[in-house]
Amino acid sequence: MDIKIVPLDESQLKQAPEKDFGFGNLFANRMFIQEYTAGEGWHDAKIGPYEPLVLDPATSVFHYAQEIFEGTKAYRRSDGNINLFRPWENMKRFNQSAQRMAMPVVDEEDHLDAILQLVELEHEWVPSVPGATLYIRPTMIATEPALGVHASSRYLHYVIVGPVGAYFKGGFNPVPVYISDTYRRAVRGGTGAAKTGGNYAASLFVGEEAKRKGYSQVLWLDAIHGRYIEEVGAMNIAFVYEGQRIVTPPLTGSILPGITRKSVLTLGADLGYETAEEMIDVHEMLADVESGKVTEVFGCGTAAVIAPVGKFGFQDKEYLINNNEVGPVAKHLYDELTGVQTGRIEDRFGWTLTIEANG
């Protein structure tokens, strides 16, 4: 793919911040963008200034929610270079989401090349502060300006980047989780396995209710039986049994195939833990928490990497996990994963792609 690089003048160049990144509020100077037209394919690829999109009020994404996105990160290494973590998996999942949402796929190598060029141009925005990273958000939206329920004939694919700190304000500390027994996030056969905004919009109502009750995240149960555990917030979830066995729900079609989840299963086995994908009944799980059989619970995803769960709230009862403290397995996995991502630990799996950024 031939990408046009649009020069920026001094008025368009902001200085990269050195601290106080927050999460998802700061963005670098440039963005990648390309257009799709039915019968023509993808065209007009360029990296230019980060700027607002101009869209007609009838643009179909506003009315029928035909859109997808991804989330990956760039990590500053101690030698000054930059690592991407398993970006090939994100490119593949982006296309899987596109197919489910009746959208055109992008060439995965071209997509990755666009991200590499964008990160290279904005390498000064990759933080050197421990725990901070450059968040990368590829997005595709339907842009045909017409009402009527049908797949759009036009699309916009763009990538924005910005520095972020910890996803949770408390950093790597246990979070309280509310289990919803009334509302559901997704159903098998629906769009739960696609990374599309509608899945997240459907979670906001219960998320706000959980916050009012003093919880940070919502644990979702399956929509058919209302018994089996699926995801926590915007993350996959895993349970540690007796300090040695890591179990996560299987990908049944309503769960997002998380790249961190996939990495935890591989890395956990490599570190000597038993790993498994099994259906987990919420009532049995809570009984196992009370008996001490479940020794740790953690969410896993790109934004937080590993997020320990300190307690569950379910039907007006609370269940404390590991005395609301970070457990050794979650800490072990977090240290190993972030070590590989930042280059502190040898990448024995071939998961990282390094961008030379020195000089």
pLDDT at 168 (0 to 100): 82
* pLDDT given for residue 170 in this prediction: 75
The rounded distance, in Å, linking the Cα atoms of 48 and 31 is: 6
In this structure, the number of other CB atoms found within 10 A of the CB of residue 99 comes to: 12
Residue 358: its pLDDT value, please? 63
d(CA 211, CA 200): 16
Across the range 163-189, mean pLDDT stands at 90
Asked whether 303 and 314 are in contact (CB, 8 A), the reply is no
- Terminal Cα-to-Cα distance of the chain (whole angstroms): 27
% of the chain exceeding 90 in pLDDT: 93
170-205 in b/e burial notation, b at 16+ Cβ within 10 A?
Answer: eebebbbbbbbeeebbbeeebbbbbbbbbbeebbee
**Is residue 255 a contact partner of residue 192, using CB atoms and an 8 Å limit?**
yes
In angstroms, the CA 169 to CA 304 distance is: 11
**Helix, strand or coil, per DSSP, at residue 166:** coil
Average pLDDT estimate for 220-227: 96
Backbone angles phi, psi at 310, to 5 degrees: -95, -30
3-state secondary structure of 297: strand
Coil, strand or helix at 246: strand
Distance CA 293, CA 182 (A): 27
pLDDT at 346 over 80: yes
- Cβ-in-10-Å burial (0-12, 13-18, 19+) of 34 comes to buried
Kindly indicate the confidence band of residue 1, based on its pLDDT and cuts at 50, 70 and 90: confident
- The pLDDT of residue 154: 98
| 259 pLDDT higher than 80 | yes
DSSP output for 60-119: HHHHH--EEE--EEEEE-TTS-EEEESHHHHHHHHHHHHHHTT-----HHHHHHHHHHHH
Q: Which residue is associated with the tokens 């502060």?
A: 129
pLDDT 10s digits, 98-154? 999 999 999 999 999 999 999 999 999 999 999 999 999 999 999 999 999 999 999
Instruction: Give backbone dihedrals phi and psi of 210, rounded to 5 degrees, phi first.
Output: -60, -40
CA distances from 105 to 42, 91, 131, 346 (A): 10, 10, 33, 34
Residue in 125, 156, 128, 129 with CA at minimum distance from that of residue 142: 156
| Mean pLDDT, rounded, for 165-177 | 87
pLDDT digits (tens, 9 = 90+) for 8-38: 999 899 999 988 898 999 999 999 999 999 9
Q: What is the mean pLDDT of the chain?
A: 96
Q: Is 212 left (phi over 0), alpha (psi -120 to 50) or beta?
A: alpha
What tokens does 83 get?
A: 């690592």
Q: What is the mean pLDDT of residues 84-96?
A: 98
Q: What would the pLDDT profile of 304-328 be if each residue is shown by its tens digit?
A: 899 999 999 999 999 999 999 999 9
Q: What count of Cα atoms within 13 Å lies in the side-chain half-sphere of residue 57?
A: 0
- What domains, with CATH codes, occur in the chain? 4-164 (3.30.470.10), 175-342 (3.20.10.10)
CA separation (Å) from 106 to 114, 116, 139, 198, 244? 11, 16, 11, 21, 41
Q: Using CA atoms, how far apart are residues 307 and 330, in angstroms rounded to an integer?
A: 8
List of E strands, 40-127: 41-49, 67-69, 72-76, 82-85
The confidence score (pLDDT) of residue 18 equals 87
Contacts of 224 (CB under 8 A, 6+ apart): 187, 188
Long-range (24+ apart) CB contacts under 8 A made by 199-205 are 199/256, 200/234, 201/65, 203/233, 203/234
pLDDT in tens, 248-257: 999 999 999 9
pTM: 0.96
For residue 351, pLDDT over 90 is answered with yes
Residue 74 pLDDT class (50, 70, 90 cuts): very high
CB 230 within 8 A of CB 185: yes
Give yes or no for residue 359 having a pLDDT over 60. no
Q: Helices then strands (H, E): number in the chain?
A: 8, 18
Token match 């990497």: residue? 305
